A and B are shown apart, each in its own frame.
Chain A
């Protein structure tokens, strides 16, 4: 499964990418593991995954139509 990711804040800084397309990502656990392998610094960085603008809290099946975003801790205001 191909997924399209949007990265924000320090996550975009660590990876040098604001957007990314990854292959063979069936679910969110695979996504996290794949990203940690590609960018070891991410393994020590706290972030949430938003699927179609809603934060997910457990392993979730992903599809190519999903809008997936990686969100570091919020610091607005």
Chain B
């Protein structure tokens, strides 16, 4: 799993920001989320964090009940596109930091598959940026979810 240290002072200049891998094989553990929060305690300019967690829902569909979603992605394109979104968001909102993690592979109902974490001096930037990242990520990143039903049949997830 990618180490999530807050951005170091020498990487604060925008042009130096490099594309980050957002993918994580398997579900995102609650302990990883807790540790990510803890790591920001040294950044005392932060006054608010906003977190979005995507959880696999056991949808009842006409084809049965979803027991897991198997995520695949065009990883190179998704990482490049996420870098563009990251730059746009940093240009638009006064954020201190931003972290995005998306699962790949089979994630069971009830597990976390998406973790978006923004921090800023005041709450509004963190909250608005977090929402915008989630909306753009769902619409723009080449990621696909294959919903696996309780009888092991499957259907392709459709984002609403």
B-binding residues in A (CB < 8 A) = 6, 8-10, 50, 53, 69, 71-77
Contact = CB atoms under 8 A, between A and B. Distances in A.
Interface of B: 54, 71-74, 76-78, 80-81, 102, 113-114, 134, 137-146, 156-159
A76 B77 contact: no
A69 B47 CA distance: 43
Contact of A8 (B72, B102, B134, B139): B72
B151 to A, nearest CB: 18
Nearest to B160: A75
Contact of A77 (B76, B77, B80, B159): B159
A11 to B, nearest CB: 9
A13 to B, nearest CB: 8
Given A8-B144, A9-B146, A77 B74 contact: no
A47 to B, nearest CB: 11
B80 to A, nearest CB: 6
A76 B156 contact: no
A17 to B, nearest CB: 14
A53 B80 contact: yes
A72 B158 CA distance: 10
A75 B159 contact: yes
A75 B159 CA distance: 5
6 nearest interchain CB pairs? A76-B143, A9-B144, A75-B157, A77-B138, A53-B77, A75-B145
The residue in A6, A9, A69, A77 that gathers the most chain B C-beta atoms within 10 A of its C-beta is A77
- Could you tell me the dominant secondary structure of chain A's interface residues? loop
Given A9-B146, A10-B156, A74 B76 contact: no
Nearest to B155: A10
A69 B113 CA distance: 24
A53 B145 CA distance: 20
Given A74-B139, A77-B134, A69 B102 contact: no
B76 A9 contact: no
A9 B156 contact: yes
30 contacts: A8-B73, A8-B142, A8-B144, A9-B156, A10-B156, A53-B77, A69-B77, A73-B158, A74-B142, A74-B144, A74-B159, A75-B144, A75-B145, A75-B158, A76-B71, A76-B73, A76-B114, A76-B137, A76-B138, A76-B141, A76-B142, A76-B144, A76-B145, A76-B159, A77-B54, A77-B102, A77-B114, A77-B134, A77-B143, A77-B159
